[in-house]
Chain A
Amino acid sequence: MKKLELKIDNKNWGTSYGQLVWQQLTKNRTNLVCLWFIIVLFTTAVFAPLIANDKPFVVRMASTGSPQVEGKVYFPLFGTLTANDYSVFLAAIIGVILLFLLRRNSRKVNPFLRSAVLWRQISVCTVILLLGIILLQFFIPRRLDATDYKAMLSSGKATDAIFPLVPYGYGRTDIKVCQRPPNRNHWLGTDDVGSDVLCRLIHGTRISLSVGFVAVGISGIVGIIFGAIMGYFGGKIDFLGMRLVEIMMSVPTFFLIITIVAFFPRSLFNIMVIIGITSWTDDARFIRAEFLKLRNQDFVQAAVSLGLPLRSILFRHMLPNGMAPVLVSVTFGVAGAIFIESALSFLGFGVAPPTPSWGQMLSTGVSTTGEFLWWLSFFPGLAIFFTVTAYNLLGEGLRDAIDPKLRKAV
């Protein structure tokens, strides 16, 4: 007798919505370029201290020096990195691992189990990351190394040294070379205290990207919660919520932000929070509109009748189905947050000067005497422009990829 077999075709699960959007997105060459640009930007931000630093990776002391150091090999750069730098590296590595897991899941895991598996992976990674950060904070000492390795090299105290690509520190001032236009030593010139512009640009990437992401994360979370509640309950809650959104929208955002900036202490974290809590209105409106459509659909009714808790109905069942428009507004939001941060820094309301920020660098281009040091304005501005453009283009691409009307037409 032939045994009855339940056939499960492991390889053919069809294409999920996310995969469809991703295929549509990466079909376009412009979107691919933007994605690659953003990846490069992220890599630069993560590895900024390894790309631009005035400490060498490796230095070998000369044999003529004092007997303790004679001929020894040191690794000054890795010694001066702070626990925060190492935490950033760790976070980046875990992020990459998560991306790979995501890709693997979509190929090897049954769609019905995918979200459970994903949540487990995310929570394990988060725990590892938090543990790692705590351990790093305990074990990495904060070291200050003011040794001028270049001087050691030229005076013959050290024989060999391998410097990073841009051998300057972002806080290092050098009055001898201040306000130099781009030249062979300083590829993008130096500013009014003699810091290397390229080095400050590279380190500024960290500020811009972190502001972009944290601010959008905050606004996304606030917007999704507000919008979900408004859309799901409707009625009075919706009415009151929409009035709040209207009020938030009718004060020009930039004025609102500088008003808050005026009253609160200026720190990077505050700026992120301020940008986050003033720009959630778009996300909330989009989510609300989606939830209004979704709340009468059968799967939501089923979830309600099963007696699931509200949190589960809103965020496990409805949100994945109404996420698409928010994804677009989040991508535009990153561009907006980066722009606002650089505008605030440009006006002098951002992070304090030794910390490199693109907007603050941009503002130093026209000196008080009216002289135009073009390289000080041009390159940071170009960085802001490229970053904002990349995110905007990606946002447009994503919108086209998500819009089913357009997909049918193409």
Chain B
Amino acid sequence: MTTYIIRRILLMIPTILGITIMVFAISRAAPGDPVSLSMGPGGQLDAQRAADVRKARMALYGLDKPIPVQYAIWLKRVVKLDFGDSIKHHRPVIDLIAERLPVTITLNVISIIIIYIISIPLGIFSAVRQGRFSDKVSSVILFMLWSLPSMWAGQMLIGYFCGPTFKNWFPPAGLSSNFADALPFFPWLADRLWHLTLPVICLSYSGFAYLTKQVRAGMLDNLRCDYIRTARAKGLDNWTVIFRHAFRNSLLPIITIMGTLLPAMIGGSVIIESIFSIPGMGRLAFEAITTRDYNVVMAVATTAGFLDLIGLLLADIAYAIADPRISFERIE
């Protein structure tokens, strides 16, 4: 097991390198360079002086070196978690990320837990009642939820429940009320949950619709198998057959789906955090792009990729725990 995990982590290194190369390449492939941006149209300098200033600035930012060298320098700083300073906030980018990352992680972890809690029983239920009315209704609803654009849902919820126009039930923005830090723990928690309700709903509904469909499909595949017939034939009761036999075997694909769910959710949190003004990493990315804060943009993209990789690693470990065969097979 340990060997498997170590091996899995070592395999992540090329992927991380690839992510950094990609982010760096995007930033360097962009038209216009920071020096000409900072110099503007040139003003009253004559051509010779302008070229000198330009050269000096290029040397200052290290832009005169060949691209691979620039990448190596950037990577060396990234490894030390130094992404430079934010132009807008005048603070090291890594501090900003350290502030914002926990918010996004909290939001996503709560959503993932909710997704799994709701969709596993629902999927099993609709697989067991395949073809009945309740199964058909839930399938249609789930399909619609899956296609429902999250910004529409978010905008309608915030408009309907958070404004003076209709119902004023939920706060429209932020993560906690003013002075919430002064509250004792439980009221603070209640306040936090009150603020998180709508964002979590928006972030999780599409994933839970997708997962439920997969659970249902996996269960149906297993329920058709011969060993289920055997289990029934030997007189086991219905629920034992479903939970001990069919469900356990359809567990693996459910874990794998984490791999497709997670990138979508981390990407989706940009939209959700922007709608609900939640100070997370998605909102940081949004603000950085509107203010053209390039250091922050690159840092956030790298962090998002990294976060995703950690999620996938956890999913793989869970996979190995659920099915002991896997870790041995892969070591070969």
Contact = CB atoms under 8 A, between A and B. Distances in A.
Interface string A242-273: 01101111111111101111111100000000
Given A259-B26, A262-B289, A388 B147 contact: yes
A343 B149 contact: yes
A339 B149 contact: yes
Nearest to B268: A254
B263 interface: yes
B134 interface: no
Interface in B241-273: 262-264, 266-268, 270-271
A365 B73 CA distance: 46
B230 interface: no
Size range of the chain A interface in the assembly: 35 or more
Nearest to B311: A250
A392 B143 contact: yes
A254 B268 CA distance: 7
B151 A247 contact: no
A342 interface: yes
B263 A252 contact: yes
B152 A259 contact: no
Contact of B30 (A264, A348, A381): A264
Nearest to B274: A347
A96 B30 CA distance: 39
Interface stretch (B1-9, B183-191, B299-307): B299-307
A383 B178 CA distance: 38
A372 B152 contact: no
A389 B165 contact: no
Interface in B152-204: 152, 155-156, 158-160, 162-166, 172
A33 to B, nearest CB: 13
Contact of A252 (B159, B172, B289, B308): B308
Contacts of A335: 147
Nearest to B30: A263
Nearest to A390: B147
A339 to B, nearest CB: 6
A256 B301 contact: yes
A349 to B, nearest CB: 7
A263 B158 contact: no
Contact of A262 (B149, B162, B288): B288
B144 interface: yes
B285 interface: yes
Given A258-B285, A346-B271, A363 B155 contact: yes
Interface in B86-125: none
Contacts of B292: 262
Contacts of B14: 243
Contacts of A359: 151
B304 A392 contact: no
Contacts of A378: 156
B19 A250 contact: yes
Interface string B8-20: 0000001100110
Interface of B: 14-15, 18-19, 22-23, 26-27, 29-31, 143-144, 146-152, 155-156, 158-160, 162-166, 172, 262-264, 266-268, 270-271, 274, 285-286, 288-290, 292, 294, 297-298, 300-301, 304-305, 308-309, 312
Given A335-B147, A385-B152, 4 more contacts: A251-B263, A258-B285, A258-B289, A385-B148
Interface of A: 243-244, 246-256, 258-265, 335, 339, 342-343, 346-349, 359, 362-363, 365-366, 370-372, 374, 377-378, 380-382, 384-385, 388-389, 392-393
